[in-house]
Structure 1
Amino acid sequence: MMWWHVLGAAFVLAQLGCGASAASPSTQAASHEGGGCACMQCGGKHGESGMQGGSMQGGCMQCGGEHDGRGRGGLAGHEGHGSPAGAALSDDRAVFHFLLANREVIQRQVTRLPDGVATVTESDDPAVAQGIREHVEAMHLRLQEKRPLHVRDPLFAATFANAEKVKLTIEPTPKGVRVVETSTDPQVVALIQAHADVVTAFLERGHVEVRKNHPVPAP
């Protein structure tokens, strides 16, 4: 399932080197100043003065996205700086980083189905539980509107490319969300299941895993 399903994230998550705590997705997660955060689009790592090993004044050196120069891994440049889509992306990024920073209080169960996966992602922390729900809804909307994210990763690019073949059912739970993601296409089923595994890896290893590229599986 999607990394935004945690997350995905998935769904999916503690930000390595970032010390955010569970406050709220829209405030706490947006500020990782000087904490070594990574650009969600390309995985490039940034410090207080931008991309490690070079300047970020004109954008991320790996993906060209615009950043705010404070190491937050801003992505507005990928959907239009200052546009409504850019603002939505900034919000999605904030929730994602919030979940990353609080991955140790997130529990996730994945059940493989013949045609996809069923996942339950929850937290005993009410703010984190709400962040999980917000993230899943936001990523579901991205699938519906075909607004891809994290496309430098082949697995995510392929998943978004097949968005119309994915059926997603979202059920809020008292502590998070249950998602059933299925397809009638064997290749897309393989994508869904591989994505679910990657979201779990995000939760286990944080940005060490986020910065990796993940192969497109065979059906």
Structure 2
Amino acid sequence: MAQGTNLPKVVLYASAACLLLVAGLAFMLSSSSHHPSSAHSHGAFSGGHDERTMPGLVGENASPEESEEMRVLFRKFDTLSREVTNLPNGIRTVTRSSDPDVMEALVSHVIGMIDRVDTGEDPKVIIQSPTLDVFFLKADLIETSIDVADEGIVVIQTSADAEMINALQTHAAEVTDMVERGMQAVHDRLDGH
């Protein structure tokens, strides 16, 4: 008889524990940054710095393959090297990797992003620099040539528009910083350093 009177308490405690567990999981999922539906708001990523999964590389309009290319580039940034020449009307960049797999990801990323700019398809990657907004707004003002050569992937981008020239040179410097420091460069930019 004593067991029968304790049964409702056991059920009550078990139910309360389950309710707390479900509420906790719901809270964690609702505040998770791993949702691709996160608002594209440059630097509004608040999910912390997860070097393993790099959730900030997900984009509202980016394919899983594009996000994976960026992960490869960030994970193996120490195999990359880059030279940038600021031209009066734009930039000339040469970027390479000592790792053939990274070089393949690099070439695909560069060609894919330039194609996205040409077609106006902003990937809206969570950690994306606001500098790229100008590219997508004024894509018709950029002249681009790409050459995959022995020295690396050579990109020349020019414009007659002063705002675009500034954006090209600013973005080239941002990419160089990422080549030199990897994800730390992004963290510093997002943290306002």
If the length of structure 1 is used for normalisation, what is the TM-score? 0.59
Q: Which has the larger radius of gyration?
A: 2
Distance 1:214 1:162, change over 3 A: farther
Q: 1:162: Cα distance to partner?
A: 1.6
- Counterpart of 1:75, as a letter, is V
Distance in 1 separating the partners of 2:35 and 2:121? 23
Say if 2:104 is the partner of 1:130.
yes
Say if 2:153 is the partner of 1:177.
yes
Alignment match of 1:55 (pick from 23, 26, 32): 32
SS at match of 1:154: coil
Distance 1:109 1:142, change over 3 A: same
Residue pair 1:169, 1:181 contacting (<8 A) in 2 also? yes
Residue pair 1:133, 1:177 contacting (<8 A) in 2 also? yes
After superposition, the C-alpha distances for 1:17-65 in whole angstroms (9 at most, x for unaligned) are xxxxxxxxxxxxxxxxxxxxxxxxxxxxxxxxxx9x9434755666499
Q: What is the alpha-carbon root mean square deviation over aligned residues?
A: 3.2
SS at match of 2:174: helix
Q: 1:186: Cα distance to partner?
A: 1.3
Say if 2:192 is the partner of 1:209.
no
Moved more, 122-131 or 205-214: 205-214
> Counterparts of 1:1-219 in structure 2 under 5 Å?
54-56=31-33, 63=40, 71-73=53-55, 75=58, 78-79=60-61, 89-150=63-124, 153-174=129-150, 176-211=152-187, 212=189
Q: 1:131: Cα distance to partner?
A: 1.5
Residue pair 1:168, 1:180 contacting (<8 A) in 2 also? yes
Unaligned stretches of 5+ residues in structure 1: 1-50, 80-85
Distance 1:57 1:121, change over 3 A: closer
- Counterpart of 1:98, as a letter, is V
Residue pair 2:54, 2:71 contacting (<8 A) in 1 also? no
After superposition, the C-alpha distances for 1:43-90 in whole angstroms (9 at most, x for unaligned) are xxxxxxxx9x9434755666499xxxx9452636x13xxxxxx5xx22
Distance in 1 separating the partners of 2:34 and 2:106? 32
Number of aligned positions between the proteins: 152
Distance 1:192 1:57, change over 3 A: closer
Residue pair 1:166, 1:188 contacting (<8 A) in 2 also? yes
Distance in 2 separating the partners of 1:139 and 1:165? 16
User: Whose RCO is larger (CA < 8 A, sep 6+)?
Assistant: 1
After superposition, the C-alpha distances for 1:91-122 in whole angstroms (9 at most, x for unaligned) are 11111110111111111000111110100001
Q: 1:175: Cα distance to partner?
A: 5.4
Identity over the aligned pairs, expressed in percent?
A: 26
